[in-house]
Amino acid sequence: MDMNTAKLKKNAFRVTKERGLAASRIRVPGGHMDARFLAIIQEIAEKYGNGTVHITNRQGFEVPGIDFTDMPKVNELLQSIIEGLEINQEEMNCGYPASGTRNINACIGARVCPYGCYDTSAFAQRMEKAVFPNDLHFKIAFTGCHNDCAKVRMHDFGIIGMTLPQFDPNRCVSCGACVKKCQTKSVGALTLVNFRPERNHKKCIGCGECVLACPDAAWMRSKETYYRLTLLGRSGKKNPRMGVNFIKWCDEESIIKIVCNTYEYVKEYIDPNAPGGKEHIGYIVDRTGVPEFLKWALRDVTLPEIAEVSSPLYWNGIRYSE
């Protein structure tokens, strides 16, 4: 069968090792969806696939064993999932219009986890609306706290939840539980001074361990949610490296603007001869220099007064010598 594989892959199908068979990649932004959609995935797998489903590392689903000729029928079945998850679409019953921006990951966050500082799935779904569809190779992930269960530092953009702890001295019984917990499970930003905890704002990472440890609710989470934004982590063959801290005490609007600005930056500087039309953002930044990247990324961004921007930015990673 004569098949335009570039078009197939753009439509979020994977070319597999079996001739004439594809795999459908199903987006689940934030890793959260209604259970009713599982029945549709099962129908696709049993009717058009090989009866199996793979749960991907990026919290989506992949259904292998789909004949090239059955892809339009699969796209029709996917329509209710796409609509139910409110994923942007250019034409109905035609599946996904792009596969460049990978499914946006999120840990379970504050909906379930006591450590979560924010609703990770909701923010991930909002980011999805802002950036998808797009053919550029971006990876974005959200984690509710600094435990980083979502491994966001391995992504182009990692969003880590933070809270600004609020202290009520009238409720404090000087038990020292918050100080002990901060020292054993976090960064030691609390110390006891005259039998009262004092917080080092520069050292504090906003994890909320003090809030969880306090038996009398002397520590409370702030009404405002803040985030730590990390940049340009990656795996891969050439030069895997961890994402570095970019902005501490950042806000939601600024993060979305910075990510959207980076799409424009990549469109301007991406190597037109890159294999498959893809080039990792980190290599583009290495080529243009960090100041040029920051000029684009921070364009028209108004950070909160509390925000702290790291400088200089330097990524260290594995390098293979000849």
Spell out the domains of the chain, with CATH numbers in brackets: 5-84 (3.30.70.3340), 105-161+226-309 (3.30.413.10), 165-220 (3.30.70.20)
Single pTM value for the model:
0.93
Q: Taking 60 as the threshold, does the pLDDT of residue 13 lie above it?
A: yes
Whether residue 261 contacts residue 298, with contact meaning beta carbons closer than 8 Å, is answered with: yes
What is the per-residue burial (b if ≥16 Cβ within 10 Å, else e) of 148-175?
bbbbbbbbbbbbbbbbbbebeeeebeee
pLDDT at 239: 83
Strands, sheet with 105-106, edge to edge from the N-terminal-most edge strand:
105-106, 140-143, 157-163, 225-231, 244-250, 308-309
Radius of gyration (Cα) for the chain, nearest Å?
A: 22
Q: What's the confidence (pLDDT) of residue 198?
A: 95
Kindly state the percentage of the chain with pLDDT values over 70.
98
Mean pLDDT of 83-100: 92
Residue 294 sits at φ, ψ, to 5 deg, of: -65, -35
Which pLDDT band, with edges at 50, 70 and 90, does 2 fall under?
A: low
For 5, the 3-state DSSP assignment is helix
Q: How many residues does the chain have?
A: 322
Helix (H, G, I), strand (E, B) or coil at 189: coil
Per-chain mean pLDDT for the chain: 93
Mean pLDDT, range 164-188, rounded to an integer = 95
**Which residue's structure tokens are 């699969």?**
74
Q: What is the mean pLDDT of residues 255-273?
A: 94
Which letter does DSSP use for residue 162 in this model?
E
| Range 80-106 average pLDDT | 93
Q: What is the pLDDT of residue 321?
A: 67
Statement: residue 314 has pLDDT above 60? yes
Cα–Cα distance for residue pair 219/31, rounded to 1 Å = 31
Q: Are 180 and 190 in contact, with CB atoms under 8 Å apart? A: no
Whether the Cβ atoms of residue 186 and residue 205 lie closer than 8 Å to each other:
yes
